[in-house]
Structures are given as structure tokens and as C-alpha cells.
Structure 1
Amino acid sequence: ATLHGMPLSAAVAGATLPPITAGPQSRVTTRASPVAAPRAAAASCSRPFSASRLRLCNVEVASRRTRHQRRGQRSVRPNASIDGFVGVAGSMGSSPPAASAIGGYGYSYGYSYGYGYGYGYGYGGDHCASRHQRERESNLGAPSVSRAVSIVNALTNAFPLWVLAGAVVGLTNPAAVTWFRGTAITVALAVTMLGMGLTLELEEFISAIKRPKQVVLGVALQYSVMPLLGFAIGRVFPVAQPIAVGLILVGCCPGGTASNLVTYLGKANVALSVVLTTVSTFLACVFTPVLTKQLAGTLVPVPAGGLFVSTLQVVLLPILGGLVLKRYCPDQVAKVLPACPLVAVITVALICASIIGQSSSDIAAAGPSLLLAVATLHSAGFALGYGASAAFGFEEADRRTVSIEVGMQNSALGVVLATAHFVDPLVAVPCAISATVHSCIGSILAGSWRLFGKKRPA
């Protein structure tokens, strides 16, 4: 092999050679050779070019010149001439020609692919070319996939508009959404909870164990402040008895699935939000029926056993199913995971639209007092959640997270429980309106925090 018209053996012997200029005019012709190269040991290119420094310097020049480039543009084989930059690097030992880099036993010519340096022991052009060929093939269609994910995310971020549009359709054109009822609502919510299970990570629970103070306070506020607020507002506001029961049921539900999105938009602690939602949802199997029985049992009969079974079927089992699927079918889960939040948003909007459509005349008769009662419930939840976490000295991001988790409820679960276990359809109405109200309030808060509040700590 020759290098700038000089025998390659001269370089091996340590002769001083002129530097190789990286560019189209540089060409190295390589052939399998039994020459064994010493280990390159030079650390600088400032002194005259010995053979070892020559090897390192050309590699560095080549790598810097092509760092901005993406991947290799050709498949490199032994005994090939390489146009463009070339860096010479030592290849240890006497591996067979097929496994050596490019020059057979003695030398490998570093061929940079835009990341990493062009030299190494045991790496070869064939290996690199095939590896990057696989990467190029795996990345085919990536731009279109990225655009699709961006569209899905944009539609998901507009979840308050989805819920508000569903409420408007339910009030103005009930026939368009009232077909979605009964078992369909239950199955749809179970699918949503399954999607939530697919998004959970074990690391998030480990993080929660390391920060028990925030989790304990958030869950305690969830199942103390909101149920008591629902009970008090139902007594103070001039609403019918079934509406008062519905307010209590809303307050006894766990954190809403959309709270994670609002937490992200408000630059709060998303990991803590996911943990709080998950823990409160698991505990709902016990707390929701028990608290509803204690607070609303004086008003109407409350089937606590039926509430427990329904919560178990609609919430706990689907979430566990999602965790199992993610554990044993990760590739399939990864394909559908980006669409899960959007499916959840559309499902909640459709459930709320259906319930509002079925009770549109009763909602109109109740007037603004119903809307004001629900808005007061959630506004007080947001305020008390933020104030309590501030009193405990939480940092700003955690205050926002606890506020969102306390103020936003899983209203869809309330709708399912109300329609399945209460005779009066008005019990489900506050739950349906709740989804629209807390989504709008949460979005307004997130937007104000994002624009005017302090930045989230790193």
C-alpha cells in the first residue's frame, strides 16, 4: 500500500511524513497486508509528524471535518480505494482479513460516519457499513412517523376543546351522542385505564418511594378536601338532592387522567403527577365507595359493594393488564403508546357529551346554580391543594402538581358509577359537567403558570 507516494512500511518504521490533507484529492489504496502496527500513543499533533502522531492527527482531522455529516455514504470493503478524508489507525493483533478494519492484518483506515472517531481496534469498514446500513433501513419513514406523532400530540393538548365541544353537542344535539351509553361507556373507560397502565414505568414508583412526603400529602388531600368540599357545596348551593349526591361522588373520585397533561403544560412535576394519579386510582377501590357511603348515605342509599366491584373492574384490572402487556409485549405496546392519550381524551369527551345529552333538559332546568356549584368545587380544590403544599414547604413545581391533582377528578369514573348504581340519572350530571369545568380551569392555570409563573426547577 502507498501513502502520498511513499511506502507504508516507512510509516511503520517511524519515518517523518508530511501530513495528509483531508479532501477529495486524498486517496489511500489498501490491500490485505501482514504488517503489524504498533499502538498509537501520541497525544498531540503540534510536533513533527512521526508515524504514531500521523495516525492520530489524520483521524482527528478527518473526524472534525465530517462531524456534521450524518452517516457513511458508501459501503467499504477490503482492498478498496477510499476517496475523501482518510485517517490511519492502528489495528491490534493479527485478526483475519475478513474481521479486520479495512487493511487486513496491519492497518485499519478510519472511516468516520459523523459520530465518533475513525479509528478503533477490531472495528472494520464492513462492520460499520453493515451497522449503519441497518440503521438507515430502520429509520426509513421516520420523518412521516414524527409528523404523525406531532399531530397526535397537538390534538391531545387541545383536550379542553374536545370536552367543551362534547358538552355543546350534548346540549344542542343530544341525539348525536346519546347512542353512547350503558355498557359502551364502561368498556370505553376500561380501555382508557388500560392505556394508562401502558404508560406507567417502574422508575416512577421508585421515585415516589424516595419522596413520600409529596405523595402522602397529595393523596390525603385528594380523599379529604374534595369529598368534604362536595358534601359542603351540595348543602350550601340550591341544588336538587341527586345533584348534591353527584357532587359528593365527584369529590370522592381519584385524580383525573388528564391531570398529567395539564401538569406538563403548567411546567410542573410530571413524574410526581403520574405517581399521584396512579396511587389515588389504586386506592379508589376502597376510598371511593366508603367515602361516598359515609357522606351521601344520609341522602340516598349507596351500594358500597357494587361501587367497589365496578371500580375494581373499570380501574384496577385494566391498569394491571396494561402493566403486564408492557412487560411482555414491549414492541407492540411501543407502536400504540403515542395514541393512548388522544384516545383517552376523545373517550372522556364522548362520555361527557353522552351524559349531558341524556340530561340536557334537567341541566337547563337547574340553571346556572349547577354550573356554579361544580366550578366552586374544582376551584376550591385547586386553591387548597396549592396552599397546603406551600404550607408544607414544597417547591414551586410540586405545589403546582399537587394543586392540579387535587383539583382535577376522574369524572368519567363518577359517570360510570352513577349510571350503574344510582336510579336517578341526575346523579351523573355533575360528573359529566365536572370534566368540562376542571379541564377548562386546569388549562387556564397551566397557561398562566407557563406564561407568567416561575420556571420549573431543573
Structure 2
Amino acid sequence: MLHPLLSVLATDVDNITIDFDEGSLTFLKIVIALILFGVALDTKLEDFAAAIRRPIPIAIGVVAQFVLLPALTFLLTIALDVRGSVALGMILVACCPPGNVSNILTHRAGGDVALSVSMTAVSNVLAIFMLPINLAFWGGLSPAGDDLLHEVDMSVWETFGEIALVIGLPFVAGITITRLWPRVGHRAHRIVGPVSFVLLALIIVLGFIGNFDIFRDYITIVLLAVCLQNALALALGYAIARVTRLPVRQQKAMTFEVGVRNTGLGLLLVFTYFDGLGGMALVAAWWGLYDIITGLLVAEVWRRRTAAPADVVVPA
């Protein structure tokens, strides 16, 4: 049973908003575009050809990310009986694609980096269509989040356009540069990737500082939900890889592809369509920091316990 104070705060979390001005929103869009640009710089057209040549693990990853994870997250929101904005935040995170952090963690763990890169590329392209559809579908089914979703002036097509702009254009630009000028693309990736994630972390930290009172009072409401959802995502990736008998190195790639989400994109949608709705912003912001910490821990444990060297990359 919740402490009386937490019960009151949990009720109020649907009514709070995170302060985020227009200039900060524009900067967030630029940072998210940089993140996707960095992913594309590490992606070649051959990666999509490799995905076609290895359809089974790619199909497994797509099902896990776009079907099973949102469905299990929806069930988790019901089991935890979270407030509407928290439920929508958890569903939104589950609908987001992975970023290239999953590639870095796969490399660190000694996993199949080629598969990881191919899955990230395919997932980000599919997310342009699947994210708004999944959010509308599972959010509409949520008993807690349905009313809030209907209060928001957001259509699937408008969300599709926003995501296509943020993901599609940087992705096409990055792949084009890598295709035409591979050396430039390789060097740029080594700069754009780390810088974009540092900038995203800076945005989140500054958001915490600028809204310190809100985070101090309400962060405990989303801590358990985020921890359980993150564990669920990592466990789902690992379990589905084991059940389908993928090789160990592919199991590592699958774990991080399903377990790591690009929550910066989720934050962008929260501030664009939901006016910084409290529970959603708290979930996405905390996820953005927490999943990197847990991902690094899992990768380090895996690297130490398995014989596969972290710097070996199997060609796609």
C-alpha cells in the first residue's frame, strides 16, 4: 500500500507539466536528429542487404521490439496500477526504436555487432510507421491512459510526419554521406555519436535542475516502474534469443537491441504533443539515464564471463 503522501502525489502526477520552452524543444529536436544522423553514419546500404540475408534474427528482433515489448509493457502498467501519464510514458518508451548505444553495448559485451547494426537500422526505419500506430493502439487500450490520450490533439498521421522528419531526413543524409564519402562518414560518426549523447544527457540533467522541485517530489513514483520495465525489456531480448536458439553472440545483440530504447525521441514527442505531461516526461527522462547504466553493467558482466573478445566483429 502506498504511503498517504505518495498516494496524493501519484494522483497529482497527471496534472503536472515539465517546464520546457520553445528554444529548448528546438534544441532537443536538433540533438535527436544528430543521434539518428550518428546511427546512419554507422549504417551502410549493405547492412540492409545483410538483414535480408539473415531474415530470421531480424524478424525475431522486430517482433520482440514492436509487438511483444509494447504488449508486455501494457500488461505491466495494469499490474502496477500506475497513473495515466506514467502508463503512457511507459508505453511510449516501449514503442521507441533503439539508438546506437545498443551497438556500443553489444561490442562491449563481445556480441554480434554486425547483427546489432543491421537491427538498429531496420528498427529505426520501421519505427517511422510503427511508433505512432503502437502508441495509439496500446495507449488507447490502457484504462489509465486512454482518457489522457483522447485529451491530446495528436493524430497518427501528424506523429508519423514528425517522426519521419526527425528520423527519416537525418537517416537518409547519414547513409548518403557514408555511401559517397566513406572516410568522412567514419570520422564524423566517431564525433557525432558521442557528442549527441552527451548533449542529450545534458538536456536531461538541465531538465532535472530546472524542474528540481517536481523531480524531487515525484521521481519516486516512476522509479519502480522504470526499473521493472527496463529489466523486462532486457530479459525479453535475452529470452526470445534463447528460445529461438540463436548463437550466444546474437543473444547478446538481441538483448541490447530490445533492452535499450532511444528515449530522447520519446521526450521529443512528450514535449511536442503532450505539453511536457508530468508522468510521461519523468518516465522518459529517467529511462534515458537508467538504461545506459544497466546496459553497461550487463555488458561488463557478460564480457567478463564469456570468452568472446569484445573487439571481434563477425561480418554480416
Q: Same fold (TM over 0.5)?
A: yes
Shift of 1:334: 4.3
Query: What amino acid is aligned across from residue 133 of structure 2 in structure 1?
Result: V
1:106 aligned residue? none
Q: Is the helix fraction higher in 1 or 2?
A: 2
How many angstroms apart in 2 are the aligned matches of 1:404 and 1:421? 28
SS at match of 1:423: coil
SS at match of 1:181: helix
Contact 1:190 1:314 in 2 (8 A): yes
Q: 1:244 aligns with which of 66, 81, 87?
A: 87
Contact 2:36 2:99 in 1 (8 A): no
Residues 1:264 and 1:247: Cα distance change in structure 2 (over 3 Å): same
Which has more radius of gyration?
1
How many angstroms apart in 2 are the aligned matches of 1:435 and 1:349? 8
Structure 1: tracts of 5 or more residues without a match = 1-173
Contact 2:222 2:282 in 1 (8 A): no
Contact 2:41 2:188 in 1 (8 A): no
How many angstroms apart in 1 are the aligned matches of 2:272 and 2:132? 13
Q: Which moved more, 1:328-337 or 1:262-271?
A: 328-337
Contact 1:230 1:250 in 2 (8 A): no
1:295 aligned residue? 138
1:313 aligned residue? 165
How many angstroms apart in 2 are the aligned matches of 1:367 and 1:349? 17
1:323 aligned residue? 175
Shift of 1:234: 2.5
How many angstroms apart in 1 are the aligned matches of 2:211 and 2:75? 24
1:433 aligned residue? 286
**Does 2:298 match 1:455?**
no
Residues 1:354 and 1:238: Cα distance change in structure 2 (over 3 Å): farther
CA deviation map 1:177-221 (0-9, x unaligned): 989721110012112212221221233222222211000001110
Shift of 1:222: 0.4
Residues 1:324 and 1:213: Cα distance change in structure 2 (over 3 Å): same
Number of residue equivalences: 284
CA deviation map 1:350-384 (0-9, x unaligned): 23224434543333222433111011111111112
1:109 aligned residue? none
Residues 1:422 and 1:179: Cα distance change in structure 2 (over 3 Å): closer
1:147 aligned residue? none
Report the TM-score, using the length of structure 2 for normalisation. Answer: 0.83
Bigger relative contact order, structure 1 or 2, given CA contacts below 8 A and separation 6+?
A: 2
2:10 aligned residue? none
Query: What amino acid is aligned across from residue 222 of structure 1 in structure 2?
Result: Q
Shift of 1:233: 2.7
How many angstroms apart in 1 are the aligned matches of 2:24 and 2:213? 17
Structure 2: tracts of 5 or more residues without a match = 1-17, 141-145
Report the TM-score, using the length of structure 1 for normalisation. Answer: 0.58
How many angstroms apart in 2 are the aligned matches of 1:446 and 1:394? 18
1:130 aligned residue? none
SS at match of 1:295: helix
**Does 2:287 match 1:444?**
no
Query: What amino acid is aligned across from residue 434 of structure 1 in structure 2?
Result: W
How many angstroms apart in 1 are the aligned matches of 2:227 and 2:207? 18
How many angstroms apart in 2 are the aligned matches of 1:358 and 1:306? 29
2:237 aligned residue? 385
SS at match of 2:24: coil
Shift of 1:393: 0.9
